[in-house]
Homo-oligomer: A and B are copies of this chain.
Amino acid sequence: MRGNGALDLLGRSANCATEQEETAAGDSVSDEAARRRVTVHDVARAAGVSLATVDRVLNGRPGVRSATAEKVEEAIKTLGFSRDLNASLMARSRDLSVVFFIPDGSNEFMDALAEAVSRRAGPALSDRMHLSTQRIRALDTGALAAGLDALDPRSCDCAVIVTSEEPDILAAVEAATRRGIAVMTLVSDLPGSNRRHFIGIDNVAAGRTAASLLGRFLPQGGTVAVIAGSLHLRDHLERLEGFRQILSADFSTIDLLGPFEGHDERQETEALVANLLAENPKLSGIYNLGAGNAGLVSALKISGRAGNLRVIAHELTAPTREGLRNGAVDVVLDQNPDGEIREAIAAARALALGTSRTVATDPIEIGIFLRDNLR
């Protein structure tokens, strides 16, 4: 850092030499480097209007004749112009603000989602994104709707919600969208609403995967019990559907017992499993497609049969991790909350560009965890 004035001169002349090298060697590099970024200036020139007009069109400000606006929009399409989100946020000296509405309660998976948000909040800040979380009492659709209604488009660009399908939520999503707030659904979709994007796993595939694994785990056949949280939940129903589908198609020697409802509660699930084990001494497997895994693991341990039957559960949380480690649980299907939040953030940026109505994100893979690949 000191006394390298001479080095600097040396560096310059060296650069001149390598410049030629580069041009000779890597044509593609210099070609693409030369292709300048399309800016608002280019759009203005192409449309034959001033910068101010382009700006008015881009930001939906009044005072532009529709004929002129069309000229501008055509130029944007022709040139393939896309607003530079970073420059835009910088100019407004305003972060892109995303609010996550996540159910509160005893559900550890939801806690994992919330943790993933706060883990990414810091790093996201350096990309000019402000992430915040609001925990909503589970299944309290009124509270969620109120939360959405309270969002001010000037302090919130995008809302991400985890919700079941309810009319008042649909209305709130509609209203938020009209105010200019993009709404995305997470984990469970809201078909028929005008949410801009959905991020979650394919729950039918998850159910199929569970059946496929259990089938291979039990080549001699046997009886497998299925436990759901509630048969009113879309994702649980989908998992059940996939599970049944593969069992009946590929594993006819396996009998299905249930489904039972544990209501995603620790104690209820524990009682349910204890009862199941007592009444079915020859039970060879359990698929818990809902939550309440602490109860599942505890009942297995108390019964003394942990490790003697094949068990598959959902979501990699503290109780399922413990189950994997002590052998009570064989496989955990995980919906990768961290990846979901990552994609939600990416989608929020894409939506902020506002180029297209829909946005593409990487699909969320179903994570399959055994004791041996626990992260």
- A205-227 interface mask toward B, CB cutoff 8 Å, 1 = contact, 0 = none? 11011011100111110000000
Q: State the oligomeric state as a number of copies.
A: 2
Cα A126 to Cα B80 in complex, Å, equals 12
What class of interface size applies to chain A in its complex with B?
35 or more
Which one, A162-170, A184-192, A287-295, A367-375, is touching chain B? A367-375
Interface centre among A2, A65, A310 (most CB of B within 10 A): A2
Look across to chain B and name the residue whose beta carbon is closest to the beta carbon of A201.
B373
- A372-B216 contact given A62-B5, A150-B21, A152-B15, CB 8 Å threshold: no
A4 touches B372 (CB 8 A): no
Is A85 among interface residues, defined by CB-CB distance under 8 A?
A: yes
Q: How far is the CB of A131 from chain B (nearest CB, A)?
A: 10
| Stretch with Cβ within 8 A of B (4 or more), from A23-31, A101-109, A137-145, A230-238 | A23-31
With A22-B155, A28-B132, A126-B85 as given contacts, are A1 and B64 in contact (CB-CB < 8 Å)?
yes
Within the complex, the shortest CB–CB distance from A367 to chain B, in Å, comes to 6
Interface residue A357 (Cβ < 8 Å from any Cβ of B): no
Q: Which of A205, A336, A365 has the most CB of B within 10 A?
A: A365
Q: A1-B64, A26-B150 provided; 4 other pairs, C-beta below 8 A?
A: A1-B69, A4-B62, A209-B372, A246-B372
